[in-house]
Amino acid sequence: MTPLLLASTSRYRRELLERLGLPLDTARPEVDEAPGPGEAPRAVAVRLARAKAEAVARLHPGRWVIGSDQVAELNGAPLGKPGTVAGAHAQLAAMSGQVVDFHTAVSLVRDGEVLETCDLTRVHFRSLERAEIERYVAAEQPLDCAGSFKCEGLGISLFEAIDNRDPTALIGLPLIALGQLLRQAGYRLP
């Protein structure tokens, strides 16, 4: 079977996808990731996952392309990647003691055919002291992560609970949902 094409250069997504043991290539999608005016966080994640997959699929006819995007939502507002240490401190301080929703969308696209879904993960943050936030950000430098943490690492210590059906979704690619889409597309998984 032709290798899957992951429309992402994210090492997190690639590492997750490699768990499925399928042949895999990657390509950088050229997509404007800015949300539209008033666009809901879930809608942004779904739109961007599809746009990434479609952008790469146009350049690779006949190949199944996986696009994924994650948008964090706090009190109805989207949270992006912090980009800076100060941004990470501010995000974590805002999420302290709060419940944050993470919408992780995945699209599987080939020659105009689209299979897609969006996973919801609800993260309950414990109350965080400023010194804890500073120590955490210094330790993991989560500047390229939506929500300013790495749940697969020390970031798990920031939570009281996680509600979801797919533990890989919070890392950036919901493998349970993707597995279902891949089986629909004809891939054989264990």
**Sequence-separated (6 or more) residues with CB below 8 Å from residue 188:** none
Q: Which two tokens stand for residue 29?
A: 């999608």
Looking at residue 1, what is its pLDDT?
67
What pLDDT digit, counting tens, does each position of 114-173 carry?
A: 999 999 999 999 999 999 999 999 999 999 888 899 888 899 999 999 999 998 999 889
Is the residue at 190 inside a domain? Answer: no
Is the residue at 189 inside a domain? Answer: no
Is the residue at 60 inside a domain? Answer: yes
What pLDDT digit, counting tens, does each position of 15-26 carry?
A: 988 999 888 999
Instruction: Report the distance separating Cα 47 and Cα 61, nearest Å.
Output: 21
Is the residue at 124 inside a domain? Answer: yes
- Residue 189 is given by DSSP the state -
Looking at residue 114, what is its pLDDT?
97
What pLDDT digit, counting tens, does each position of 20-57 carry?
A: 988 899 999 999 888 888 899 999 999 999 999 999 99
Question: What's phi and psi for 117, nearest 5 deg?
Answer: -160, 170
Domain that holds residue 28: 4-184
Residue 94 binned pLDDT confidence (cut-offs 50, 70, 90): very high
Is the residue at 162 inside a domain? Answer: yes
- Residue 141 is given by DSSP the state -
Task: State mean pLDDT over 96-102.
Answer: 96
Query: To 10 degrees, the CA torsion angle through 27, 137, 148, 88?
Result: -110
Is the residue at 116 inside a domain? Answer: yes
Residue 68 binned pLDDT confidence (cut-offs 50, 70, 90): very high
Looking at residue 10, what is its pLDDT?
85
Is the residue at 8 inside a domain? Answer: yes
Task: State mean pLDDT over 99-127.
Answer: 96
Looking at residue 81, what is its pLDDT?
87
Give the count of domains, the chain. 1
Task: State mean pLDDT over 54-75.
Answer: 95
**Sequence-separated (6 or more) residues with CB below 8 Å from residue 11:** none
Catalytic: 166? no
Is the residue at 57 inside a domain? Answer: yes
The structure's pTM equals 0.91
- Residue 126 is given by DSSP the state P
What CATH number is given to the structural domain containing 117?
A: 3.90.950.10
Please identify which of the residues 32, 69, 101, 111 carries the catalytic annotation: 69
What region does 137 belong to: left with phi over 0, alpha with psi -120 to 50, or beta?
alpha
Residue whose tokens read 């919901």: 174
Could you please report the per-residue DSSP string of 132-165? HHHHHHHHH--TTSTTS--TTTGGGGGEEEEE-S
Q: Which of 43-47, 79-83, 94-98, 123-127 has the lowest mean pLDDT?
A: 79-83
